Amino acid sequence: MKIGLIQQSNTASRSENIAKLEKNIRTCASQGAELIVLQELHNGLYFCQTEDPVVFEQAETIPGPSTVSFGKLAKELGVVIVLSLFEKRAAGLHHNTAVVIEKDGTIAGKYRKMHIPDDPAYYEKFYFTPGDLGFEPVQTSVGKLGVLVCWDQWYPEAARLMALAGAEVLIYPTAIGWESTDNDDEKQRQTDAWIISQRAHAVANGLHVISCNRTGYEPDPSGVTNGIQFWGNSFVAGPQGEIITQAANDKDENLIVEIDLSRTETVRRMWPFFRDRRIDAFGDLTKRWREE
């Protein structure tokens, strides 16, 4: 499978961001990418730095404008595209939703972000209802895609459940970065933890992991914080956690990489974690905490 990851900086102009995405999608397709992954909430700025009811006007239905426009592009270029949209399901009911567009322009499936953060500069609970579609991979012409979103990438349970459902690859559209008051050592620890966690998902499940993050600086409209410097570092890891390709942290970049999905079979034969799981002893995982 040949994959394109589009890591880009965004502005307040949605039309400019979408035009930039289209140009980058065409570039990736011209280089042979069959699957193209976009970053989280790619049409605009990362609006969750504040809680503003006006922002709900940016939400769209699925199907809707983005699935139609990117669907036409997918059909023209013959590629599968992973979108990340602010979904309006009903009045007062919204989700952070990844949509997979098939090569013929149709919607192959979608995933609603399950883990919703609520931290300074990441006030997502104000906007998004937790997903209700479970951890179900999306079957496409290029394979069975286990699509998760950003904050989901910190949870090994989510990766495991996608793998158990037959995902051939894990995909994480992402928007994560540094708050400028953190010192350089802390910034490095945060980035390392982010990469290590996802590489661990690759190892534990014997799968390739595709992580597509945004880059660039976006100010906090409220002025309460110093804004977010998105740290880029989009990457693809192999089934043993090896980094196959990785973008810089400070610039727009398209990554093109070819992966061999048959390596999952080879690695799982050597490291049979699924064989040795003690599923008879895992019942407490469904508890919030084990009291003494």
Residues that are catalytic: 40, 113, 150
**What is residue 66's three-state secondary structure?**
helix
Q: Could you give the dihedral angle defined by the CA atoms of residues 259, 25, 129 and 202, in that order, rounded to the nearest 10 degrees?
A: 10
Q: Are 113 and 86 in contact (CB under 8 A)?
A: no
Residues 279, 160: Cα–Cα separation, whole Å: 12
The single residue listed with the structure tokens 């992580």 is 211
Tokens of residue 188, six digits: 């490095």
Q: Which of 63, 73, 94 is nearest to 21 (CA)?
A: 73
Residues 244, 25: Cα–Cα separation, whole Å: 21
What residues pair up with 31 in beta bridges, in sequence order?
none
Task: Look up residue 232 and give its amino acid.
Answer: G
Q: CB under 8 Å to 55, separation ≥6 — which residues?
A: 47, 127
**What is residue 291's three-state secondary structure?**
coil
What residues pair up with 87 in beta bridges, in sequence order?
60, 95
C-alpha angle 202-205-209 in degrees, rounded to nearest 5: 30
Tokens of residue 65, six digits: 């404008």
Tokens of residue 86, six digits: 């602010």
